[in-house]
Amino acid sequence: SEFTTADRLRRSFEELGPTFVKLGQLLSTRSDLIPEEFIQEFTKLQDNVQPLPFETVKAAVERELKRPLTECYSEFSPEPLAAASIGQVHTAVLITGERVVVKVQRPEIEFIIENDVSLLAFLANLLERYIPESRVIRPRVIVDEFFRTLSLELNYVVEANNMAKMAENLAVFPQIVVPKVYKGLSTSKVLTQERIEGIRVNDPKALDAAGIDRKMVVAAGSRAFFKSVMIDWLFHGDLHGGNLFILPGNRLGII
């Protein structure tokens, strides 16, 4: 075959959907368990999902917020800014004029994930029963921990509370910007937050053109990160280029 075993497995995970994509992404961080060629393939895992139709999004938001969309937002983009397996993000403007992004969870995703995790738990049991060598990596423990993590990710109230707490913790750093959460327009399945508009941290040409002092940004970001880890014990665990924006005044916006 033109594809390696690792490549075929990565493609299979993408076809199997969100739960398996998330599992592959988790396994890509476990170089203690997984051979290097599989690690390299799993780091490529992407959510191959079709965006939800606007009518579905509108109905989901109205159901969650218990009022018409037009009573909550003066503008709401029908096209998503980003679409992923668990939810998708739309830009919007509040009635009071603030520019926001709204994360909307996919209907039925909770049911799909519960079914998939039940299958994974069944397979983990079989592995431990019939392949004694697998017991050393404890497949059932991995599946249990994976399900707990996914359950938290499905609850946007947890995310909103984490954002509010991190904003409070990092308020001592004027250069660090954490988006404000609009709790009156947020539930466990809808999250409305301040829109952070800046230059992506991985766009060096744009940063240079804007006259950004990179050393100053790195110093502020490093201090904030180490305070989060060493003092607060609450830190951002996914600091990639898509989640970091440089704002005017050498400020760092963290999504």
- State how far Cα 209 lies from the chain centre: 29
Contact (CB, 8 A) for 16 and 47: no
CA dist 49 and 64 (Å) reads 23
Q: What is the chain's Cα-based Rg?
A: 20
Instruction: Give the active site residue among 7, 47, 144, 238.
Output: 238
Distances (CA, A) of 209 to 79, 159, 254: 30, 34, 21
Q: Report the relative pairing of strands 73-76 and 244-247 from DSSP bridges.
A: unpaired
Copy the structure tokens of residue 241.
């280029």
- 95-128: string of b/e by CB count within 10 Å (b at 16+)? eeeeebbbbbbbeebbeebeebbeebbeebeebb
Whether 238 is catalytic? yes
How many of the other CB atoms lie within 10 Å of CB of 70? 12
CA dist 142 and 33 (Å) reads 11
CA dist 204 and 216 (Å) reads 15
Query: What amino acid positions are annotated as catalytic residues?
Result: 238
